[in-house]
Amino acid sequence: MGIQHYINLLSPYIHGYGYWVAFFGLMLENAGVPIPGETALIVVSFYAGQGLLNIWIVVPLAIIGDLIGDSIGYAIGRYFPVKNRANLAPAEALFREKGGRTVFASQFSAVSRATGSIAAGLAHMPYKRFIAFDAAAATVLVSIVAAVTFHFSKNLDAVVNFFRVFRLAGLAIFVLIILVFMYHYYKKKR
């Protein structure tokens, strides 16, 4: 589906709820609900680029929604009962040794965004550390998405193509961090 589909789909909600579309979109997506939260941010930023919303309100509300959703995901991972904690040893080691950069990198792909928060909770990464890296990543991600869409709202096809590559690069970096860590983790175990 193209971006025009989402603009048409979200238009009534943006006219009714405005900035909250980006807030709740990111919050729900990051909490694990399969909705296109980042796309909601793109569409809301597009409307800001058209002069219908204020980008300086979009960005902080989207960051707060992002952080609340990630905190919900973290809590799900942290407090969901796990029967066999021994299987989590690699994840716990990853978040103990490279948790900050893993949480930061996980923000840049929709696939890893919700799972990274849940995994950080499962691995019992300290919440203060988690939220510090998550806040930094959310600020960078939301600012980039909103700024690029706002400034290039006249050429949405280019914006969508940019974010397609951006998401793939983010996912690749997240997976690379995990693969490199797993290689070293299992190498030490032998």
Q: Please write the tens of the pLDDT for every residue from 8-25.
A: 888 888 889 989 999 999
As a whole number of angstroms, the distance between CA 55 and CA 48 comes to 5
More confident residue, 72 or 173: 72
Average pLDDT, the chain: 86
What is the reported pTM? 0.83
Predicted local confidence at residue 180, as pLDDT: 82
Predicted local confidence at residue 1, as pLDDT: 63
Predicted local confidence at residue 76, as pLDDT: 93
Q: Which of 84-88, 96-100, 116-120, 136-140 has the lowest mean pLDDT?
A: 84-88
Predicted local confidence at residue 185, as pLDDT: 75
Enumerate the domain spans of the chain: 3-189
Model confidence over 90-108: pLDDT tens digits?
Answer: 777 878 788 888 898 888 7
Dihedral angle computed from the Cα positions of residues 58, 47, 7 and 106, in that order, rounded to the nearest 10 degrees: -30
20-30 helix and 55-79 helix, angle to the nearest 10 degrees: 20
More confident residue, 99 or 78: 78
